[in-house]
Amino acid sequence: MTESTTRRKFLQLLGLSAGATLASGSLLASESEQILRLNEEQREFMLLYERWMDEYIKVIHIQKADPKNAENHKRMLELSEIADEWKGQLRTFMLDKNFSIIYQASIERMKKEI
């Protein structure tokens, strides 16, 4: 997947997050604009996380089709280690309401694809 495809998916995610939040009535229109205002570090993290999710979704699909695939198990462990390295940074980012909403939307996307 190319960088531009990942960026496009991320921007679509932002739009879906804002729309879902507005539809739920939990934010006023002026507050929904804040969802799109992640700082540079948060945006970079979410782009990286989106690429990670794409890889993780692939290994889950392989796992379902071929549970004894040793290479896939190895890749799954590598991806898990990467996620573990992000825990501290993610915990900090989750304190930001805007980031939290976008992150939760990305988790929902992953759940639907798995």
Q: For 83-101, what is each residue's pLDDT tens digit?
A: 999 999 999 999 998 899 8
- Quote the DSSP letter at residue 25: T
Q: How many residues are present in the chain?
A: 114
Q: What is the pTM of this model?
A: 0.67
In whole angstroms, give the CA distance from residue 82 to residue 78: 6
Which amino acid is residue 75, in one-letter code? Answer: R
- What's the mean per-residue pLDDT of the chain? 79
Give the domain range for residue 61: 3-113
Name the domain count of the chain.
Answer: 1
pLDDT score for 5: 59
Provide the pLDDT confidence category of residue 4 given band limits of 50, 70 and 90. low
Provide the pLDDT confidence category of residue 108 given band limits of 50, 70 and 90. confident
